[in-house]
Amino acid sequence: MQTELSTTLGVEHAVFGFTPFPAVAAAISRAGGFGVLGAVRYTAPDDLARDLDWIDAHVGGLPYGLDVVMPAAKVEGVREADAEAMIPAGHRQFVQDTLAKYGVPELPAGEAAGWRITGWMEQVARRQLDVAFGHPIALLANALGSPPADVVARAHEQGVLVAALAGSARHARKHRDAGIDVVVAQGYEAGGHTGEIASMVLTPEVVEEVHPLPVLAAGGIGSGQQVAAALALGAQGVWLGSVWLTTTEADLHSPALTRKLLAATSSDTVRSRALTGKPARQLRTDWTDAWDDPDGPGTLPMPLQGLLVADAVSRIQRYEVEPLLGTPVGQIVGRMSTERSVREVFDDLTRGFEGAVDRLNRVAGRSGR
C-alpha cells in the first residue's frame, strides 16, 4: 500500500494512524504505517516530552508525527486563567444534577480531574509545539482548521510536513492557500470533530480541489477494501483513528468502555457538542442525550464546554458509570468486535487490500492471483 506520499515519508504502507496512546503510535510505525500521537490531552509540557522520548526509544528511527488542536474558530480573548469564570452557573448546576441522577461519586479528596482539554486552547498547543520540535517528528497535523502562519513556517523550517483536516472542499481550499502540505479529507462517518459530508463524496471533491497536494481519506475506514476504495478515489493514503481504540496496545483504563466499544454497532454513535462545544462523533450515551435534549441549557462554545465537563467526564470514567460512559469514535465501531494487536490490524488491512485489488483486476479483465 505504497503511494508517493508514503514513499516521501519513508513508510511501507500509506496508513496514517492517529491515537492518543504512545504505545499505539509506536506500534503503528513499527508495523509499517505512520503513527501520529494526539497531543490534546497533554496539559503539562513535561508529560508530552516524556512520552515523545518514549516513542523515540521504541520506533527504531522510523517516522512518526504529532496532532495538535489550534481551532480556527474559537472564543476570542479567552486565557487559560480566566476561562472558567465565563461558564454560567446554570450550566454547572445542570452537570451536577445529571451526575446526581446517576449516582456518580465525587473524585477522592486531592485527586484532580484527569481529563482536561485546555489543550484545545491555542496557547497550550504552542507550548506542546515547543516540546515537539525538539523531537524528530516528520509530520505536524492540526485537527481544527489551518495552523497559524507562523506555526506552518516554523514546521517547514525544520523540515516537518504540515497536515490539516478538512470536512469540505472549501476547508481544503483554505488549507492549500495557507501552505499546508497534506490535506486530510475527514468524512461524516469519522470519530471526533467531523463535518456533514460522507467520505465517498468528500474524498474526490477534496482531491480535485487541492490537486496536486496529497490527500488522505478519513472517516469510516477500517478494512483493506476501504483502503483500496480510498486510493481509487484519488487519495494518497488513509487516516485511521477509531480502529486503534480496541487494540491490545491501547490504554483505555476502562474494561467497561472496551466492552461497550466491542458491542457497539455502526448505529450507536452520534455527532454531539457535549464533549467540546463543537460537533464530535462519539458513542451515544445518556450523557450525550442529556446535552442534546432541547429542554437542557445547551452546550457552550469551545473551549468552555470542555472545561465545564472535564471533572464530570473524569468521574464518569473513574467509576465506569456505564449509562454515561462514552468516547469519541466513528461509525467504523461496528466492525471493531474483537481485541487485536496493531500488527494484526495491519495484517488484516494488507490482506483485504490485496484481495480488493485482485478483484478489481479481474473485473477489469486483467489477470489476478
For 286-295, the pLDDT digits (tens) are 999 999 999 9
pTM: predicted TM-score of the whole model, two decimal places: 0.93
Who contacts 45 (Cβ-Cβ below 8 Å, separation ≥6)? 127, 128, 130, 131
Q: Which amino acid is at 123?
A: Q
Taking residues 207-220, report their average pLDDT: 98
pLDDT over 90, % of the chain: 84
Burial 32-70 (b: 16+ CB within 10 A, else e): bbbbbbbbbebbeeeebbebbeebeebbeebbbbbbbbb
The answer, yes or no, to whether residue 144 has pLDDT greater than 90, is: no
Taking residues 68-90, report their average pLDDT: 72
Taking residues 35-61, report their average pLDDT: 95
The answer, yes or no, to whether residue 71 has pLDDT greater than 80, is: no
Return the pLDDT at 77.
Answer: 53
Contact assessment for residue 24 and residue 17, using Cβ atoms and an 8 Å cutoff: yes
The answer, yes or no, to whether residue 118 has pLDDT greater than 60, is: no
Return the pLDDT at 263.
Answer: 98
Task: Report how far residue 360's alpha carbon sits from residue 66's, in angstroms, rounded to the nearest whole number.
Answer: 35
Burial 325-338 (b: 16+ CB within 10 A, else e): bbbbbbbbbeebee
Return the pLDDT at 134.
Answer: 96
Return the pLDDT at 349.
Answer: 98
pLDDT over 70, % of the chain: 93
**Ranges 99-103, 125-129, 149-153, 335-339: which has the least confidence:** 125-129
Copy the grid coordinates of residue 319: 467509576
Copy the grid coordinates of residue 245: 481504540
The answer, yes or no, to whether residue 80 has pLDDT greater than 60, is: no
Return the pLDDT at 368.
Answer: 53
Return the pLDDT at 69.
Answer: 84
The answer, yes or no, to whether residue 140 has pLDDT greater than 80, is: yes
Residue with cell string 465565563 = 86
**Ranges 53-57, 60-64, 68-72, 82-86: which has the least confidence:** 68-72
Taking residues 65-77, report their average pLDDT: 71
Average pLDDT, the chain: 93
Question: Which of the listed ranges 109-113, 142-146, 193-197 does the model predict with the highest average pLDDT?
Answer: 193-197
The answer, yes or no, to whether residue 79 has pLDDT greater than 70, is: no
Strands (E), 137-252: 139-142, 161-166, 182-186, 192-193, 215-218, 237-240
The answer, yes or no, to whether residue 102 has pLDDT greater than 80, is: yes
Return the pLDDT at 93.
Answer: 97
More confident residue, 74 or 33: 33
Return the pLDDT at 70.
Answer: 81
